[in-house]
Amino acid sequence: MEDIEDVLRQAITEMESGRPGPVFVEFPTNVLHEEVASAGPAPVMAPEPLQGEETLDTWDFDALLDDLSKARYPLLLIGAGVRTAKARDAALEFAETTGIPFVTTTLAKGTLPEGHPQSLGSCGIWGQPAAREYILEHTDAIMALGTTFQELSSYGWRIKPDNVLLRVDIDVDELSRNYAGRHRFCGNLRPFMAALDRAARQRSNDFSFSEAQERVRALKDDVGYYTTIPHKHEADTESAVNPVALVKAISDLTPPEVTVVSDVGENGAWSMYLIERSVPGSYVINAGLGSMGHSAAAAVGVSLGRPGKKVVSICGDGGLMMNGNEIATAVRDGASVLWVVFNNGILGTQKHYQRDYLDGRYIACEMPDVDYCAYARSMGAEAARVTAIDDFRKVFAQMLTAPGNALIEVVVDPEVKPEPCYFY
């Protein structure tokens, strides 16, 4: 019993310091029934130094810059750790000082502005085609900042190990996981990038990378970039909206400061591929566990954490069926969410796989016929149903600026699946 306060303080310290994350504290049942006399607020214990953490004073920036100056097609790979460390401005300043092209992982989408001429958008299996081409075919020096090099962002670990020039992370174990890098720094990204930028400015004549910048421009022109990416199937049918046109419309109409919370499944693939973001934290997706239905509920939490700010939730009809009851929570607690529901009447990932690879032997992939507008209205939200892209644009623009919670049910063509499709 006497250890409870110390344990909780330590848990809070570990949760907020170093590499922030969840901490699990387990209480035996008998302890939960005991009364504890609190000694009152006390200072949180100072965190212990991180294992392997280095100092900037002794780190060899010149050796890194010497190697960087020999590259033809360098790349800054921006991970979610850049946003967590509040190192966005420092990373962007370094990119602009040196002229190095940059790309983000899916979880870091929007950390650096995707409309920037040096940006290749987001990378990975559902990243930009231009990013994939540059990373796998051209780049010879990747500077990886706050990223784990997990399967999706590394294209199934197809990045060549010799091309990883630098890794920076707050977690020493990450520096040797998947890819080691010729140069490594364990510590806070923000002061590191500021120091690296100062060192690069002293050697500005060593860097221009105009050939790399021209390659980025050419690739984006050749294969498209976000809403300019061409697709084989982009037209509406008489009674349904094409999902590609739908996501492009969402990208066009959503202001940069509005957070988009995407679900997983085919709607998530389209959103990662086609929605351009330029503000840190303006794109959220559960890319770790990939929990279906996450966006229907998570958008409520994002809205309550940013009072007065509208949040857009993208989800399929299957995802909404899992957590749509959180519309009632949003209404009760005064959130401001606009749910865009892709209603194609199926579990798209499963049915399209069964259609294309299992000879059309369908099982457990059809959705029931649900009136999602009536469902939303029953919980106190506004709702509208659309079957044409022009109607969606009008309704979306109206509901995006209206106060409170609303849902748009979009009847989506069930025959169209994401392309290119790397999984199935």
Give the Cα separation of 324 and 316 in Å (integer). 11
SS3 321: helix
Q: Rounded to an integer, what distance in angstroms lies between the CA atom of residue 221 and that of residue 423?
A: 26
Cα–Cα distance, 109 to 223 (Å, whole number): 20
pLDDT of residue 424: 37
Mean pLDDT value of segment 295-318: 96
- Give 16-45 pLDDT, tens digit per residue: 776 777 888 888 888 777 887 766 665 555
pLDDT category at 53 given cuts 50, 70, 90 is low
Residue 263 contacts by C-beta under 8 Å, 6 or more apart in sequence? 285, 286, 292, 293, 294, 295, 296, 313, 314, 315, 316, 319
CA 367, CA 330: separation in Å to the nearest integer?
25
Residue 376 and residue 407 in contact, taking contact as beta carbons nearer than 8 Å = yes
Helices (H), 88-242: 88-98, 129-133, 189-201, 210-223
Average pLDDT over residues 252-275: 93
pLDDT of 70 above 60: yes
Clarify whether residues 203 and 320 are in a common domain: no
Residue 60 tokens read as 């060899």
Please indicate, yes or no, if residue 422 is contained in any of the structural domains: no
Chain segment 190-201, per-residue pLDDT in tens = 999 999 999 999
The pLDDT tens digits for 146-171 are 999 887 778 777 888 999 999 999 98
The pLDDT score that the predictor gives to residue 43 is 58
Q: Are 260 and 252 in contact (CB under 8 A)?
A: no
Domain count within the chain: 3
Residue 50 · residue 21 · CB < 8 Å: no
Measured distance CA(9)–CA(14) in Å, rounded? 9
| pTM of the entire predicted model | 0.86
Residues forming a β-bridge with 385: 409
pLDDT beyond 90 at 249: yes
Q: Which residues, 6+ apart, have CB-to-CB distance to 49 below 8 Å?
A: none
Residue 421 lies in a domain: no
Alpha carbons within 13 angstroms on the beta-carbon side of residue 182 total 17
If asked whether residues 193 and 241 sit together in one domain, one would say no
The domain boundary, picked from 171, 198, 223, lies at 223
CA distances to 53, 101, 231 from 19, rounded to whole Å, are: 12, 26, 40
Task: Give CA–CA dist 406/381, Å, rounded.
Answer: 5
Q: Residue 365: give the domain boundaries.
A: 233-411
Q: What is the DSSP letter of 138?
A: I
Average pLDDT over residues 375-397: 97
Within this chain, do residues 290 and 210 fall inside the same structural domain, yes or no?
A: no
| Mean pLDDT across 288-313 | 93
Residue 240: pLDDT band with limits 50, 70, 90:
very high
* The pLDDT value given to residue 1: 65
Are 391 and 257 members of one domain?
Answer: yes
* Mean pLDDT of the chain, nearest integer: 90
Residues 135, 33 share a domain: no
Residues 91, 215, single domain; the answer is yes
Residues counted in the chain? 424
Rounded Cα gap, residues 315 and 321, in angstroms: 10
What tokens were used for 232? 């084989």
* Residue 186 pLDDT: 93
Query: Is the same domain home to 115 and 139?
Result: yes
Residues contacting 160, CB < 8 A, separation 6+: none
Question: 39 and 181, same structural domain?
Answer: no
Cβ-contact 78, 91 below 8 angstroms: yes
What pLDDT is attached to residue 66? 96
- Read off φ and ψ for residue 227, nearest 5 degrees: -70, -10
pLDDT(210) > 60: yes
Residues 203 and 351 both lie in one domain = no
Q: How many CB atoms lie within 10 A of CB 84?
A: 18
pLDDT beyond 60 at 52: no
Same domain, 70 and 136: yes
Whether residues 62 and 198 share a domain: the answer is yes
